[in-house]
Amino acid sequence: MTTTEQKPIDPTTLAVVRGAFEQIAEEMDTVLAASAISPVIADAWDRASGVFHPVTGEVIAQGSTGLPIFIVVMQHTVQEVIKAHPPDTMKPGDVFIVNDPYRGGTHVMDVKFVRPFFQDGKIKAIIANTGHWPDVGGMTPGGFTPASTDVYQEGLRFPPVRIMEEGKMNQALLDVMMLNMRVAEDRYGDMAAQLNALELGCRRLDEVFRQWGDETLNRCIDELKLRSEMLMRNHIRTIPPGTYHFRDEMDSDGVEEGRVVIDLKMTVEGSEITFDLSGSSSELRGPFNSPISSTITALMIGMKHVFWDVPINAGCFVPFKYIIPEGSMFNPRPPRPVSGTTTETAHRLVGVTMGALAQAIPERVPAGFFGTGTNVGIGGNSPMYGRYATIFFFGGGYGGHADGDGLTNGSTTIAASRNSSVEVLEQTVPLLFTRYAVRDGSAGVGEYRGGLGVEIDFHLRDGEAYFTLVGDRGTAGPHGLVGGEPGLPADHSFHTAGKTFKAPHLTKIDRLYLKGGDGCSLKTPGGGGYGNVEDRDPKKRELDRMNGYVA
C-alpha cells in the first residue's frame, strides 16, 4: 500500500479514518460478545477483533475492549494464514480457522477466524477475530490444565485451514471438530458468533472503502503506522539510556517441583529497546511455556501499560528487538505444552517488563500487581444442568503508584476482559457461590497502598464434576516499589469428602473429582505498596485499619 510522494494527509481525514477502522473492530467485538454462547466470551469478553493489511498481515486497528494479549498474536496469526494461503489464492467468502500455538497462537482454546475482505473482485483488507472456547477437546474439561506434558493433551490443534470456502461450510472438518469437543452445541454457537462478527466487519469495510477510496485509505494506513512508531520512539527517548534488570519466579510448572525463573534485561538505546530473556528458565515439562507470539505480546503490553496513548497498529512494534533463545520457556519448541501461557506466564512477563521499567522511571510505573488469572475449569454431569464444561477466572489487587492507591479486584493485565460474573455462572453450571468478598489485609502498605485481592467460596450443587485450577503467586506476593511493601500471595484450599486440604503445587490442581457439596476457597493476591508507609496520610492509614485493608 505504499504510494508515491503526495501532499500530506489533512489531520481531520486521518483522525476520521483511524476512528472508522477502530470502530469496525470495536463493533465486531460487540457483536461477538452479544451473540456468543459461552459466558467467558459473552460475559467476560475474552475475545478480540482486528483489521489487517492484505499483503503484510500487519495490524491496522484493534477494538478498544479486545484483549491486549492478541495485539501481536493476531498479527502473527494472520501472517501465518497468508504464508499458508497467499492472497492470490483467496476467494470471496473464504474463512480460515487456526488455533495452533506454534502458528501465531497462544493456547489451543483461543480459536481464531480469519477472513479476506474483497471489493470489486480485489482483496483490500483482512479481518480476524479470536474467541476463547471453553473446550476444544483435550484431557481436562475447560482446557486449562496444570498437568499436561505435551500440547497434544491440551486439545485439537488447527493449522491455517479453510473452514469456509467461497461461503460454503467445510462440513467434514466441522464434523471432526465437534465430535472431539465437550458440549459441541455450545461451540457451534460460539463459532456462529465469530463468523457473524466477520460478516459485519466486511459490510462495514465495504462502506468505508466506498466512502474514502483505496488511495486515501492506503495513505492513511501508512501514515498511521508511521505516527504510531514515532510516538513510541518519542516515549522511549524519555527513558534514561542503560540496561535495566528485573527477575521474578513462578511457584512451579505444575508438573515438577521448583521455582520457574522469569529474567528480563531491558536495554534502552536512543529510541529503541532490546528485550533479553536469555536468563529465564529453559522450556518446561509443564504447560507454563509461552509461545513466541505470546511472549512478544506480553512485552508489548508491559510497555503499553506505561505508554498507553500509543495507538495499536504495526508501527508501535517497530522500535523493539528481542533476544529470546529457542528452547527457552519463552520460545518453546513443539510439542511442549502451553495451556498456562496467557493468564499466568504472559501475565507475569507483563509484570516483569513493568518491573524493569520501574528501575528507570519509577515515578511512571506502579508497584507489582496480582499477576495470576486464578483460572477454574470445570466439567461434568448434573441432574439439573445436564452435561457442561466451562472456565472462569478472578481478579486481584493492582499496585499502588505515584498518583494513588492500587485498584481492588482488577482484571488480568493481559486483558480488557471483565472478571467472571457469579450470577451468570450460577445460571449456567451447577455451582453455588457462598462468598465473594474483598480479601482483608491483602494490600501491600506504602504511601499509596496496593489494591486488594478477593476471597471466593463455592461448591458443586449436584451431580459430579472434575475441577481444575491453574494459578500462581502462591509463594511470594507482588513486589512493592520505592519503599512499599509486597501484597499477600494467593492462598487456596479445597474441600472434598468432608476434608480440607492444600494442593501440592499450592496454586495448581488438576481434575479434582467433586461430588455435590465439594468445593474450594480461593484467595487472590493483593497489590504491592508504593512509597514508605510513614509518608501515608494519617487519615488514610486510620481508614485502612478500620476497613481491614491492610494487616
Q: What is the mean pLDDT of residues 529-536?
A: 97
Torsion on CA atoms 471, 145, 252, 456, rounded to nearest 10: 20
The tens digit of pLDDT for each residue in 170-226 reads 999 999 999 999 999 999 999 999 999 999 999 999 999 999 999 999 999 999 999
Q: What is the mean pLDDT of residues 477-499?
A: 97
Q: Which strands form 320-323's sheet, in the order they lie side by side?
A: 242-250, 260-269, 272-276, 320-323
What pLDDT score does 72 carry? 86
**Which residues is 61 bridged to in the sheet?**
51
pLDDT at 2 over 50: no
Give residue for cell 482484571: 411
Rounded to two decimals, the pTM is: 0.95
In this predicted structure, the answer to whether residue 418 has a pLDDT above a threshold of 90 is no
Mean pLDDT on 542-548: 91
Q: What integer pLDDT is reported at residue 68 of this predicted model?
A: 85
Confidence of residue 38 (pLDDT cuts 50, 70, 90): very high
Residue 111 and residue 97 in contact, taking contact as beta carbons nearer than 8 Å: yes
Helices H, strands E: what count in the chain?
Answer: 10, 20
Question: Cβ-count burial of 412 within 10 angstroms (0-12 exposed, 13-18 middle, 19+ buried)?
Answer: buried
C-alpha angle 46-420-344 in degrees, rounded to nearest 5: 60
Tell me the pLDDT tens digit for each residue of 255-274: 999 999 999 999 999 999 99
Taking residues 498-516, report their average pLDDT: 97
Please give the span between the terminal C-alpha atoms of the chain, in angstroms, as a whole number: 58
What pLDDT, on the 0 to 100 scale, is given for residue 71?
78
- Under 8 Å between Cβ of 251 and 508: yes
Could you tell me if 186 and 132 are in contact, meaning their C-beta atoms sit under 8 angstroms apart? no
Work out the pLDDT band at 551, boundaries 50, 70, 90: low
In this prediction, residue 550 carries a pLDDT of: 79
Residue 416 binned pLDDT confidence (cut-offs 50, 70, 90): low
Q: What angle do CA 426, 370, 490 make, to 5 degrees?
A: 70
Mean pLDDT, all residues of the chain: 95
**Res. 82: pLDDT tops 50:** yes
The C-alpha atoms of residue 148 and residue 144 are separated, in whole angstroms, by 9
> pLDDT, tens digit, for every residue of 291-334?
999 999 999 999 999 999 999 999 999 999 999 999 999 999 99
Contacts of 272 (CB under 8 A, 6+ apart): 233, 236, 319, 320, 321
Contacts of 185 (CB under 8 A, 6+ apart): none
Partners of 268 in beta bridges? 242, 273
| Gap between the Cα atoms of 341 and 348, Å rounded | 9
Q: How many residues does the chain have?
A: 551
What would the 3-class secondary structure string for 4-43 be?
CCCCCCCHHHHHHHHHHHHHHHHHHHHHHHHHCCCHHHHC
Count Cβ atoms within 10 A of the Cβ of residue 30 and give its class: 0-12 exposed, 13-18 middle, 19 or more buried. Answer: middle
